[in-house]
Structure formats: C-alpha cells, structure tokens
Structure 1
Amino acid sequence: MIDESNPAGRLHRILSEVATKNGDGICVRDVWAPVFGCSPKDEASVLRGLVEVYGLCEEVKNLIKLNPDLNHDLYLASFPKIEKAILPVNLGQQWKALRSNLDGEVLARLQFCAEALQGFYSEEAISEEDVSQIHEMVSALSDAITDSSISPELKLALLEELDRIQKAIVLIKIKGAKGLKEALQSLVGSVVANHQSLKQLETDEPDILERLGGLLDKLDAFTARALKLKRMLTGPVSYVLDKITGPDGEEEPVEDD
C-alpha cells in the first residue's frame, strides 16, 4: 500500500489512475477532466489542474533533493517522462502517445520516492468527513452572504474567498491540506483587511459573522492537524474580529506556523 500522506504518494495515485486509460481515440482533456472534477469542455479548469499536478511534481523533486542521503539522480530519473505526460502540446492531443511515458518503471520509481519521503515528511490522513463538513459550511455561508444585505464590496470579497476554499477542496487529491491552508491564510487576510465592515455585522448580520468564525476555526483545526503544524488562530473563534483584530480595530499579530 503506497503512502498517500506525502506528495509523491499522491502523485503516484493520480498518475496510476490516468495510466489505466488506454483506449484509442481518447484525447488528453477526456483523461484529465475526471481527475479534476470538471467537464472536458472546461479547458480552463483542465489546464489549471495540470498546472497543479506539475507543481506537485516540482514539490516531490524538491523534497527528494532536500535529503542528502538519497541518490537524487536515481530517484528523479523518471521525472522527465512524467513531465512529458502532464504537459501536453494541446488538450485535443491523443492520450495514447503521452500515456507511453507512464510505464511500469516510471510508476515504480515514483513509489520508491513515496517510500523515501516517509522517513522525513508525512501528513496526517485527510478525513473525508471533515472535508465534507467544510464543504457544507462553505456552501451554507455562501448562500447566507448572497441573500444578505451587506455591502456589495464586502459581499464580493467574502464570496471570492469562499470560492477559493471550494477550489482547494476540489484539488485536495493533488495538494492535500496545503491548498486549504493557503485558502485559510487568504481568508484571514481578507478578514483583517475588511475588519471595519465586518464589525458592523455584529449588529446587522450576526449569523454571517458567527458562521464565518466557525469556518475559520474549522479550517484552522483541520489544516493544523493534517499538516502537523501549530494552529494559526489561538483558541476557538467565536467571533472573527475578537480573535484577529483588537478592540480598537487594530490588527493583532497572527501566529506563525
């Protein structure tokens, strides 16, 4: 069983999945769209997903190079072929020609990378229940914000952050919890930047503020556990501004990871 709690394990699972698709007449977009949970016609999403997979390749290579005890040339010998498979000339290209790059030797070497990373890098297994709960919290908050009477500027800012979280959930099989960690950091920054407008919600839309605080707390706990880091926000976040900004509206420092 390959450990999928590190980037090499996740990359192995993704490439093993697409390597099984070998029918004639299948083009690149048809192979990758299901991996990213989008329609083959949505070429922008397919391209974004391929960029993320390429980024995962780079992360694996960098982690291998960080360990001086590993034979870097040996472990990374197959990555040129992997990159050929995930960087097509165009999405309408026939997959059969690219699939040949993902042979048994390539996948075996990648499995060795996953095993090598176990010794010095790992993440906690991601709970599907937690991911589902975060998705539901984001959807409920998005609906509440959309139906609210808050200012268009604040509404747009918050909805953009929630969309970022939803995209991170879709890409969790590629980036693991790191994507949600990045989305959390962006959300915290938006909350700090809009703290004056958010203070008004204590009176006008307390439900939105409470939901936002609950989402921040959930994301913080989830990503800290998955990535084995300290929590970004200390204590439960009952009301967002009480935890991120001071009583005068001045920003308090956020703990580093």
Structure 2
Amino acid sequence: MDEIQNPFHRLNEQLTAARNLSGTAATIDVWASVFKCDASNSALLVNHFSALLDLVSEARAAAERFIPGDKTRFLAPLDRIDKLLKSQHLARPWAQFKPYLDDGTMVALDFGVYAMSQYYPGASAEGSEQIRDFVQKLDVLLEECLTSDLSAELKSLFIKHLESLRAALMKFRVEGMSGLEDAMDAIIGSIHRNSGPINAEAESGKVIIQKFFDVLGKVNDMISGYQTAAQIAAPAVTALLLPLLN
C-alpha cells in the first residue's frame, strides 16, 4: 500500500533513467541498467520488459478512464513509447532508439504525471496515505470484531462488511470510485435492514460498531473530496447510522 499508484510517474522515472544513459551503450545494457539486473539474465529482462509494457497499458487505461476532455496529449507519448519498445533491437546502440524519448515525449509524460495526481484515485501521496490509513484501521477493527462480544449474527455481518470495504479500498486506486460506491451503498443498506439486532446489541458490542461507522464516514469524506467524485451514499454517512446505536 505504500507505493503511489501513478503509472505516468513510474513510466517517467524509468524512461528518464534510460534517456540519461549514453547513446554509445548497447540497448540491452541500457535497459539492464534501468531494470537493475544483469544483461545476461534473459528471463529477468523479459519479465521487466513485460512489466514495462503492462505499465504503458495501465497508464493508457487510466488516462482514458479518469482524465476528462481531450486525452490526445496524454496518449501520444504512450504511443511513442509503445513504438520504441516494439521496434528496438537490443544488440544495437541505444543512440538508434533514444530519439523516441525526445523532449516533447518527456514533457507530455510530465503533463500526464500532473493529470494523474488530479484525477486518478490514490495517485497523490496524500490520497495514498489516506487509503493506507483506512486499510490499517479496518485490519485492527477486524481483529477486534473477531474477539468481541458481538452476537454471532452481528459478528458475521460486520466481518463481511469490514472485508468488503477493505477490498473496495484496495481496488479504489486503480479502478476508481464505482466499486467503492457500490460497496458503501451495500453496507449502509445492510446495516439499516439489520437495525433491529444492532439496536438490541449490548453496549460493549456497540463500541466496535461505532468505530466502524466512524471509518465509513471518513471514507465518504475522502471520496467526496476528489475532483471527479460525486458525494456517495449520503451527505453524512455517520449521521445516517448513529441513530442505530441509540
């Protein structure tokens, strides 16, 4: 969870490293240096090239899905990188292929890095930190729930909801808001359907339920703060749920 999920940023880092290497070097040696592996390790090089192609595809999918308006300027450098990776000859000098990474391509990648930080969930350090913090809190709550005095019925219910929200948060940074919105809606609907058993629960069990409601409210606040996000579930999730604990 620590890594910031910005595919343009990761592409920019690797391609900047390749661009800074001498054109007189063999292309295979350039990439071995970028990938930090031995040029004689063919299997490892193949894996790294496959991962780099996947990263280009990830950046393309993210740009098409999350960046509003005309996406041409963000997709153009990805097309050029694809051509580089698919046309290069590893035994030849890097100077023959280095021009694919010209100033225009690198500047366009920089624009992509910035656009992702604005529109792509979890692409900023702040967003990544928030998501990691929520997942850690949910992990703690899951442990507390497992050892709590909640009734078997509610224990099973809240374990399911804790796991569902955790999974949705893990996917949020790469899949966007829809999955998390669906998870939140399903959880809140389920909680209201089970309001009777929740109200009847002993006060000691309601402490964990209160903590879960607090996390739900804070997740809602985080999502509504994204520029491309609409307010989800309700204007104030906690306000909807707290009456169940009275």
Q: 1:255 — aligned with what? A: none
Q: Is the 8 A contact 1:154 1:197 kept in 2?
A: no
Q: Residues 28 and 135 from structure 1, CA distance in 2 versus in 1: closer, same or farther, beyond 3 angstroms?
A: farther
- Give the AA of the match of 2:8: H
Superposition deviation, residue 207 in structure 1: 2.0
Match among 105, 109, 112 for residue 108 of structure 2: 112
Matched, 1:158 2:158: no
After the TM superposition, which residues 97-176 of structure 1 pair with which residues of structure 2 at under 5 Å, given as runs?
105=101, 109=105, 111-115=107-111, 122-123=118-119, 125-127=124-126, 129-148=129-148, 149-151=151-153, 153-155=156-158, 157-165=160-168, 167-168=170-171, 172=173
Q: Give the TM-score normalised by the residue count of structure 2.
A: 0.56
Q: Is the 8 A contact 2:56 2:78 kept in 1?
A: no
Q: Is the 8 A contact 1:134 1:215 kept in 2?
A: yes
Superposition deviation, residue 145 in structure 1: 2.5
- Give the AA of the match of 2:44: C
Give the Cα separation in 1 of the matches to 2:62 and 2:187.
Answer: 27
Give the Cα separation in 2 of the matches to 1:29 and 1:77.
Answer: 20
Unaligned stretches of 5+ residues in structure 1: 33-46, 85-95, 244-257
Superposition deviation, residue 12 in structure 1: 2.3
Give the Cα separation in 1 of the matches to 2:168 and 2:131.
Answer: 11
Q: Give the TM-score normalised by the residue count of structure 1.
A: 0.54
Q: 1:203 — aligned with what? A: 200
Q: RMSD in angstroms over aligned alpha carbons?
A: 4.8
Q: Is the 8 A contact 2:169 2:180 kept in 1?
A: no
Superposition deviation, residue 130 in structure 1: 3.0
Superposition deviation, residue 220 in structure 1: 0.9
Q: 1:247 — aligned with what? A: none
- Give the AA of the match of 1:27: L
Instruction: Give CA deviations for 1:199-227 in whole Å, capped at 9, x if unaligned.
Output: 42233231232122111111111122133
Give the Cα separation in 1 of the matches to 2:48 and 2:11.
Answer: 11
Residue identity (%): 12
Q: 1:77 — aligned with what? A: 79
Instruction: Give CA deviations for 1:21-61 in whole Å, capped at 9, x if unaligned.
Output: 241237379869xxxxxxxxxxxxxx9xx979744422324
Give the Cα separation in 2 of the matches to 1:52 and 1:67.
Answer: 21
State the SS of the aligned residue for 1:67.
coil
**Could you say which structure has the higher helix fraction?**
2
Q: Is the 8 A contact 1:145 1:155 kept in 2?
A: yes
Give the Cα separation in 1 of the matches to 2:76 and 2:152.
Answer: 57
- Count of aligned pairs between the two proteins: 200
Give the Cα separation in 2 of the matches to 1:134 and 1:17.
Answer: 28
Matched, 1:237 2:238: yes
Q: Is the 8 A contact 1:18 1:31 kept in 2?
A: no
Q: Is the 8 A contact 2:134 2:219 kept in 1?
A: yes
Give the Cα separation in 2 of the matches to 1:197 and 1:222.
Answer: 26
Q: Residues 109 and 31 from structure 1, CA distance in 2 versus in 1: closer, same or farther, beyond 3 angstroms?
A: same
Q: 2:63 — aligned with what? A: 60
Q: 2:27 — aligned with what? A: none
Of structures 1 and 2, the larger Rg is shown by: 2
Give the Cα separation in 2 of the matches to 1:228 and 1:62.
Answer: 11
Unaligned stretches of 5+ residues in structure 2: 16-33
Q: Residues 183 and 145 from structure 1, CA distance in 2 versus in 1: closer, same or farther, beyond 3 angstroms?
A: farther
Q: Is the 8 A contact 2:8 2:59 kept in 1?
A: no
